[in-house]
Amino acid sequence: MPKPALRRVMAATAAAAGVLTLGVTDASAHATTTLDYVALGDSYSAGSGVLPVDPTNLLCLRSTANYPHVIADATGARLKDVTCGAAQTSHFTEAQYPGVAPQVNALGAGTDLVTLTIGGNDNSTFINAITACGSAGVLSGGKGSPCKDKNGTSFDDQIENNTYPALKAALREVMAAAPNARVAALGYPWITPAAADPSCFLKLPIAAGDVPYLRGIQAHLNDVVERAAEETGAVFVDFAAVSEGHDACQAPGTRWIEPLLFGHSLVPVHPNALGERRMAEHTMDALGLG
């Protein structure tokens, strides 16, 4: 073979080898890319009441066994967890406590995934509804619907008029701070069963007629989370079906939510360790993560 032709063959072979090596390197790099994951949200995200507690910020009562940690462990994601118990939508852009930065500060252009559970503390919806219905239930001996009779649509009005627009604004802030991220807004797993369970009254002292009333308030909250997610381009992770039968009235090992009384958690009416694991698993299924 003439030398010029030989040189051309050698050059082409080297170039092909270089392309092959580059392709393998690129594929390898792609396969080992670590997901940059930021977890935002309230006590349902933080896993408040689930041990062990994250010692880096005791004010937020954040668990290292919360659903963001379960997701990160399962996917190998690089997790930045800024969830905080008692957080409201306003704390996405405002400091919740001295030394606790606004949650969106954790986001950036390099963020790949964001999860959040938020809205239940706006207007103190959860705590006020549970407290009002629990107190009314005790005074009525579990009869009638004293909480509904007294409060009517007040909780629903607050959710629709205040929480809903606040959720949309908060999600838009998240999208702006993490423009390249996939954002998942999680609903809240069921706290109460669909109908009253007389055997549950000592654990969740809500009058028989107020059990569906309280569940309807939670359903409305989840509905506005879903609408806000759809209108801002986030993914809504719906727990209505998968959490059915795992409410606070169920036995340990079945329930995802601890009851108001005689539960096994430091924080009542919140997910237990099983609930946090199941929230993580359903979220990964919804997002196609594995």
Catalytic residue numbers, as ranges: 43, 270
Question: ∠ CA 206-196-199 to the nearest 5 degrees?
Answer: 85
Which region holds residue 11: left if phi is over 0, alpha if psi is between -120 and 50, else beta? alpha
Both tokens of 169, joined, read 């604004």
Exposed/middle/buried for residue 25 (C-beta within 10 Å: 0-12, 13-18, 19+): exposed
The answer to whether 158 touches 199, Cβ cutoff 8 Å, is no
Both tokens of 128, joined, read 């006020």
Burial 224-240 (b: 16+ CB within 10 A, else e): bbbebbeebebbbbebe
